């Protein structure tokens, strides 16, 4: 048995002190961090990027198969992924947490261990937040702040006809990790005591439980002198994100099924579940890769290096958004990504 | 009967579009608002202040007696109050909302009407956020961003021996508004159909349901050339906030009971409930006034104008934090403010 310390034994301010006492500041822009009414930042002539996400137990994560440490890490990653998607560098986060009294101090410590690990890995400072009770479940609000050199940010709306459509890494793995863990959960609930069978599934499970954000891609853009014409991160599924880029840029696109980057383990997991790997890649979501467009002139710079795949190109708006299958047929792309309200 | 539109009929992105379509930008610092991965801000050489609050149904508010429009307004006020407490000017907010399917589009519109009213009143831009479902209840996460001239921010930790302890407005009213509405709720639940008896209680109820943040005080400081030595906003109760200032400044204080600003209606409401008005003023919370310290030299500038009361002075840390009662006896100040974990 592990120890259990009741949160009530510390009180609200004691808890905040406990959770934040070892914070080390990484960024010169962090003037005042945790412990005042608000944090104070100085980005010295840079522009500021800010984004917010809510993660709700039972909607966005299941604590039955999500270790709290991983959840803490993922909370940070999910949020700073949006900062990278603006071509910016994350510098600070604020964390708002609400939890019921079923959470012990040790459980919170696990969560914060993951938060601090991600902060250290990405050089981000935790500078504030809020801690309170919930009536039900664990509720996480994360705000990420970043900086970008003046007017170097990349919007969703800048894609132009002829631009190349690119994506980092590979797609669909997190969705198959989720499918697998949901199956194991069902088996466990029906037959408690059965150990999960995750043999050979490390990659897809890891992509779900401990995703990383594409800091390397932003660094590569800066080194190579590439400014994408538009960019978005892949959270809801690449087809949904492509439609965002097309709508906000007022363009269409052609996407090639055989160019979609899919890891072998993802493909094998899909076959095991009788799922189409392409459908998983298009609609799976939670990949936290970057989807972006570049001018054709920049094609040489990207090459096939840096974990970037060219998956299609941008067309006129009137042409719509289509995928060319391996068999050569053409289908309209439809958003089947994750929708909280379905 | 009012119309009811199901959120599901719009989907997540349709909903966001509906709720944000009429946004007008107030601040030059807002470069990119709602509709991208993140907002982009340029504070042109100013420092940036950022704070985050979670408001949870059943913990922080009761929808049985809180109109959604008021809740939207209050959400913004509660958050930007923390920005004012840094001597900064709020410029942007991000709003994360989670709600169950018992909420209709019309209900959300009411909430946003309040949000936009507060944004207009305080000149703040809504620049982003997140919208999702909850398993239970209405969950609000608000992040407020503000700006301050370099190094003009005011921390909690700058109070020095001999400084005067001041508070804006009056105290305890919101707590009595809450006490009153909780009583009316109880009566209503026992005897449905009974109309609430709020005769003569407009002030205390208004202070709970539609608080304002002290923008005027920050403007006065700038005009009068006063920089408080420390400052905090009164959310948990003035005794709790005083102890924060004393602890973080490593000082003690003396507070005079007869100097505590209490509105007549607050006093009458307290008597009706057999409560001590002073206890309500000290421990009530949710006043969203500013508690601050100034150098004695600035006393003349403050005078008795601008809705500011001098309520005591700062002492050595060893002397502790005390209140002198009207009868002349001296008591140690104890934090009895709101604690989410009690």
B46 SS3 class: coil
H or E element: which one contains B145?
Answer: strand B139-148
**Would you call A233 and B49 a contact, using CB atoms and an 8 Å cutoff?**
no
Chain B partners within 8 Å of A97 (Cβ): 54
Category of B112 on φ-ψ map: left (φ > 0), alpha (ψ -120 to 50) or beta: alpha
How far is residue B243's CA from residue B235's CA, in Å, rounded to a whole number?
Answer: 13
Chain B partners within 8 Å of A50 (Cβ): 38-39, 41, 50, 92, 94, 127-128, 143, 145
Q: Of the given ranges (A299-308, B73-82, B122-131), which has the lowest mean pLDDT? A: A299-308
Best mutation target, A14, A54, A97, to test chain B (most B CBs within 10 A): A54
Q: What residue ranges of chain B are covered by domains with CATH 3.30.1330.10? A: 7-148
- CATH class (in words) of the domain with range B7-148: alpha beta
Question: B21 phi and psi, to 5 degrees?
Answer: -70, -25
**pLDDT confidence band for A5 (50 / 70 / 90):** confident
Q: Is the pLDDT of residue A34 over 90?
A: no
Per-residue pLDDT at B199 = 76
Average pLDDT over chain B, rounded to whole?
91
H or E element: which one contains B165?
Answer: strand B164-168
Q: Where are the beta strands (DSSP E) in chain A?
A: 30-32, 39-41, 47-56, 89-99, 125-133, 139-148, 164-168, 230-233, 252-256, 290-294, 308-315, 321-324, 330-332
Pick from B52, B133, B341: CB nearest A133: B341
Q: Is the dihedral of CA B186, B188, B189, B191 positive or negative?
A: positive
Per-residue pLDDT at A218 = 96
B140-154, pLDDT tens digit by residue? 999 999 999 999 999
Buried b (16+ CB within 10 A) or exposed e, B305-332: eeebbbbbbbbeeeeebebbeeeeeeee
Between A312 and A301, the more confident residue is A312
What ipTM was estimated for this complex? Answer: 0.90
How far is residue A190's CA from residue A199's CA, in Å, rounded to a whole number?
Answer: 20
Q: What is the pTM of this model?
A: 0.93
CB-based contact B115:B144 (threshold 8 Å): no
**∠ CA A5-A7-A11, rounded to 5°:** 130
Buried b (16+ CB within 10 A) or exposed e, A27-60: bebbbbbbbbbbbbbbbeebbbbbbbbbbbbebb
Category of A228 on φ-ψ map: left (φ > 0), alpha (ψ -120 to 50) or beta: beta
**Would you call B85 and A150 a contact, using CB atoms and an 8 Å cutoff?**
no
Per-residue pLDDT at A337 = 59
Residue for token pair 């004695």: B296
Pick from B50, B58, B233: CB nearest A41: B50
**pLDDT confidence band for B198 (50 / 70 / 90):** confident
Using alpha carbons, select from A71, A76, A70, A106 the residue that is nearest to residue A91: A76
Cβ-based neighbours of B113, under 8 Å, separated by 6 or more: B69, B72
Per-residue pLDDT at B22 = 82
CB atoms within 10 A of CB B59: 16
Q: What percent of chain A has pLDDT over 70?
A: 96
Between B13 and A271, the more confident residue is A271
How far is residue A113's CA from residue A93's CA, in Å, rounded to a whole number?
Answer: 15
**pLDDT confidence band for A1 (50 / 70 / 90):** very low
Pick from A12, A37, A340: CB nearest B132: A340
Instruction: Copy the structure tokens of residue A309.
Output: 């795949």
A217-275, pLDDT tens digit by residue? 999 999 999 999 999 999 999 999 999 999 999 999 999 999 999 999 999 999 999 99
Q: Is the pLDDT of residue B59 over 50?
A: yes
How far is residue B237's CA from residue B233's CA, in Å, rounded to a whole number?
Answer: 9
- DSSP helix, strand, coil percent of chain A (3-state; round to 5): 35, 25, 40
Chain B partners within 8 Å of A8 (Cβ): 341-342
Per-residue pLDDT at B281 = 96
How far does chain A reach from its first CA to its final CA, in angstroms?
Answer: 40
Using alpha carbons, select from A274, A291, A292, A294 the residue that is nearest to residue A337: A291
**∠ CA A336-A338-A342, rounded to 5°:** 90
**Would you call A136 and B131 a contact, using CB atoms and an 8 Å cutoff?**
no
A150-199, pLDDT tens digit by residue? 999 999 999 999 999 999 999 999 999 999 999 999 988 888 877 777 77
Average pLDDT over chain A, rounded to whole?
91
The residue of chain B nearest to residue A243, with distances taken between CA atoms, is: B13
**Would you call A137 and B136 a contact, using CB atoms and an 8 Å cutoff?**
yes
The mean pLDDT value for B284-311 works out to 91
How far is residue A35's CA from residue B155's CA, in Å, rounded to a whole number?
Answer: 9
Between B117 and A1, the more confident residue is B117
Pick from A11, A135, A137: CB nearest B59: A135
Q: Of the given ranges (A268-282, B211-225, B294-308), which has the lowest mean pLDDT? A: B294-308
Per-residue pLDDT at A213 = 98
Q: Is the pLDDT of residue B2 over 70?
A: no
CB atoms within 10 A of CB B195: 8
Best mutation target, B37, B53, B129, to test chain A (most A CBs within 10 A): B37
Q: What residue ranges of chain B are covered by domains with CATH 3.90.650.10? A: 164-332
Pick from B11, B136, B150: CB nearest A341: B11
Q: Is the dihedral of CA B233, A22, B149, B130 positive or negative?
A: negative
Q: Is the pLDDT of residue B312 over 60?
A: yes
The third-level CATH classification (topology) of the domain covering A164-332 is: Phosphoribosyl-aminoimidazole Synthetase; Chain A, domain 2 (3.90.650)
How far is residue A171's CA from residue A129's CA, in Å, rounded to a whole number?
Answer: 33
CA distance A105 to chain B (A): 12
Best mutation target, A6, A28, A37, A97, to test chain B (most B CBs within 10 A): A37
**Would you call A96 and B54 a contact, using CB atoms and an 8 Å cutoff?**
yes
Buried b (16+ CB within 10 A) or exposed e, A215-233: bebbebbeeeebbbbbbbb
The mean pLDDT value for B226-241 works out to 95
Question: B114 phi and psi, to 5 degrees?
Answer: -65, -40
The mean pLDDT value for B301-318 works out to 89
Per-residue pLDDT at B338 = 59
CA distance A98 to chain B (A): 8
How far is residue B297's CA from residue B140's CA, in Å, rounded to a whole number?
Answer: 42
B234-272, pLDDT tens digit by residue? 999 999 999 999 999 999 999 999 999 999 999 999 999
The residue of chain A nearest to residue B233, with distances taken between CA atoms, is: A37
């Amino acid at each position: 048995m592990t120890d259990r310390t009741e949160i009530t034994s510390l009180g609200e301010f004691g808890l905040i002190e406990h959770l934040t006492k070892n914070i080390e500041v990484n960024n010169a822009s962090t003037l005042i961090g945790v412990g005042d009414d608000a944090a104070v930042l100085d980005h010295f002539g840079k522009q500021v990027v800010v984004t917010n996400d809510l993660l709700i137990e039972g909607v966005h994560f299941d604590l039955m198969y999500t270790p709290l440490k991983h959840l803490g890490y993922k909370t940070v990653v999910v949020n700073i992924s949006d900062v990278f998607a603006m071509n910016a560098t994350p510098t600070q986060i604020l964390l708002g947490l609400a939890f019921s009294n079923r959470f012990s101090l040790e459980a919170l410590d696990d969560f914060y261990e993951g938060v601090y690990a991600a902060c250290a890995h990405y050089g981000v400072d935790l500078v504030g937040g809020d801690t309170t009770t919930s009536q039900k479940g664990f509720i996480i609000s994360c705000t990420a702040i970043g900086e970008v050199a003046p007017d170097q940010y990349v919007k969703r709306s800048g894609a132009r006809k002829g631009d190349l459509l690119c994506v980092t890494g590979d797609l669909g793995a997190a969705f198959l990790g989720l499918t697998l863990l949901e199956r194991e959960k069902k088996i466990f609930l029906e037959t408690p005591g059965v150990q999960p069978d995750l043999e050979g599934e490390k990659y897809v499970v890891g992509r779900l439980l401990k995703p990383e954000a594409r800091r390397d891609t932003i660094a590569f853009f800066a080194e190579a002198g590439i400014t994408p014409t538009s960019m978005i991160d892949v959270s809801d599924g690449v087809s949904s994100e492509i439609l965002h880029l097309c709508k906000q840029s007022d363009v269409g696109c052609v996407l090639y099924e055989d160019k979609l980057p899919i890891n072998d383990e993802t493909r094998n997991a899909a076959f095991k579940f009788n799922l189409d790997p392409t459908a998983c890649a298009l609609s799976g979501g939670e990949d936290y890769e970057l989807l972006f467009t570049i001018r054709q002139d920049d094609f040489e710079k990207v090459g096939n290096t840096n974990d970037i795949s060219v998956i299609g190109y941008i067309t006129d708006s009137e042409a719509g958004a289509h995928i060319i299958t391996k068999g050569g047929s053409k289908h309209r792309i439809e958003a089947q990504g994750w929708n909280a309200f379905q």
